[in-house]
A and B are shown apart, each in its own frame.
Chain A
């Protein structure tokens, strides 16, 4: 076993000790199919929680999205995101000649699964903010990839915005039924449906 693997196992262990990191699967079992998981976003801890809630063999093929300028700014951050999480880097500054979704498309062409937070930023309200268009474009370009909604519960209590050390509180990730883009469905309608699918998981017990 190599160092990144060991570090990954240790990190998943810590996440489980602190949050329990329970994954509940409703409507789609955890399988090694190509998927895009999309979830509500409330804390820096969200990605680690989803990642720790996945079965171990799915963790290696499921990749997060990381902001290039922040996560490559120090060797340690770069090492963690590159070696442990195998993150897809995107740049936050828009340039005219480059599609911001291109790195994600490349990863999907490569057969990897992705975890995205379509709100774009961390919210602190009960309901998630409206979703950004990226999810729609990915669904359009890759109709064969399953879109799995996920609801992350309780994590804002573990690490509120501005705090560094997490408090041990049990959290859960609820994964729902795959969503498909209807033929001819418009962007607005699809994004609203996706957001509702995420929120509907809140009350699934």
Chain B
């Protein structure tokens, strides 16, 4: 660990590049060689699903690398675009009415760009309160001007919730990149990678655990696989991944990295659970990348854990360093 921590930035980045893309390449080759075998239909569907997930990981990794190489502004723009696409999907799933038109325009074309602009300018105090305070008050005003009292509170709440998850949550990822920590200049991207990896590992851990354990689900109507024990195992897997990545983090001790991994992994998998509830509410049955009529399934599933984990992680890091 000490050896890894003492490498220069460029050496660490080079190492990460080799490890990340080497692993991906290895998994892809194995997956490809397995397509040559004869298997049953159920296995084939599972395999198709896996291939879709793998493609998403590839796209994510390449985008991530581009944003890393291009620097803070480009990655802020990139996360902003993902935020836009996620919010588009969210709004498609919720039933908005005619009177919401102006509030939605406000959300898409004013709130979203402003939030990312504030993140890019590194004014983190304003960044933290802009959406929860100012936008929270502005949206119902614009909605009320839409002159439609029917289900007013419900509609306003949905829009606000969408902005909180898709814009506010997501914008904390580029903010991590731009956060200036002691003795950690130009390494913000490692922190984002740490977050992404920890959340992904926690998700995989929880998924595997719930398949093995077959515990009684906590909320059967929402998710058939979510149980507290599986959640705990997922968070623990995140903590282990966090500990292993200690060398790339600014935390003062390995235990700090483990604790942060636990927090990020635990909140990420809870985010996925909430997204299940949302999909059930919207009446979406197909799950995991299979397009519905409007094609509104896929991205939101994948970014939701990150949207939940990023703000929690971001503020934990700020408290940890007292900034």
Contact = CB atoms under 8 A, between A and B. Distances in A.
Interface of A: 18, 20, 22, 24, 153-154, 157, 160, 163, 165, 167-172, 174, 205
A22 B108 contact: no
Given A154-B92, A160-B101, A168 B293 contact: no
A170 B101 contact: no
Given A171-B294, A205-B292, 10 more contacts: A22-B291, A22-B295, A160-B101, A165-B109, A167-B91, A167-B105, A169-B92, A170-B92, A170-B294, A205-B293
A168 B294 contact: no
A153 B293 contact: yes
B39 interface: no
Given A20-B294, A153-B294, A157-B96, A168 B88 contact: yes
A123 B171 CA distance: 39
Contacts of A18: 88
A160 B98 contact: yes
A165 B109 CA distance: 10
Contacts of A20: 88, 294-295
A167 B96 CA distance: 11
Residue from the set B87, B96, B105, B293 with the largest chain A CB neighbour count within 10 Å = B293
11 contacts: A24-B293, A153-B293, A157-B96, A160-B101, A167-B101, A168-B91, A169-B92, A170-B88, A171-B294, A205-B292, A205-B293
A94 to B, nearest CB: 34
B101 A172 contact: no
B304 interface: no
6 shortest interchain CB distances as A-B pairs:
A170-B92, A170-B294, A168-B88, A167-B104, A22-B295, A170-B296
Contacts of A167: 91, 101, 104-105, 108
Contacts, number: 44
A117 B88 CA distance: 27
B105 A165 contact: yes
Contacts of A165: 105, 109
Given A167-B108, A169-B88, A22 B294 contact: yes
B196 to A, nearest CB: 25
B108 A168 contact: yes
Nearest to B99: A160
Nearest to B291: A22
Interface residues of B, number: 19
B84 interface: yes
B89 interface: yes
A24 B292 CA distance: 11
Contacts of B89: 170
Residue from the set A153, A163, A169, A171 with the largest chain B CB neighbour count within 10 Å = A169
Interface string B42-85: 00000000000000000000000000000000000000000010
Contacts of B91: 167-169
A160 B105 CA distance: 13
Contact of B293 (A163, A169, A174): A174
Contacts of A24: 293
Contact of A168 (B84, B291, B292, B295): B84
Contacts of B92: 154, 169-170
Nearest to A161: B98
Contacts of A153: 293-294
A170 B90 CA distance: 10
Contacts of A157: 96
Residue from the set A24, A160, A168 with the largest chain B CB neighbour count within 10 Å = A168
A95 to B, nearest CB: 38
Contacts of B98: 160
Nearest to B100: A167
Nearest to B108: A168
A48 to B, nearest CB: 17
A131 to B, nearest CB: 23
A126 to B, nearest CB: 14
A157 B88 CA distance: 12
A21 to B, nearest CB: 10
A167 B98 CA distance: 11
Nearest to B294: A170
A154 B87 CA distance: 16
Nearest to B102: A163
A89 B144 CA distance: 41
Contacts of A205: 292-293
Contacts of B88: 18, 20, 168-170
A7 to B, nearest CB: 22
Residue from the set B89, B92, B291 with the largest chain A CB neighbour count within 10 Å = B92
Contacts of B105: 165, 167
Nearest to A202: B293
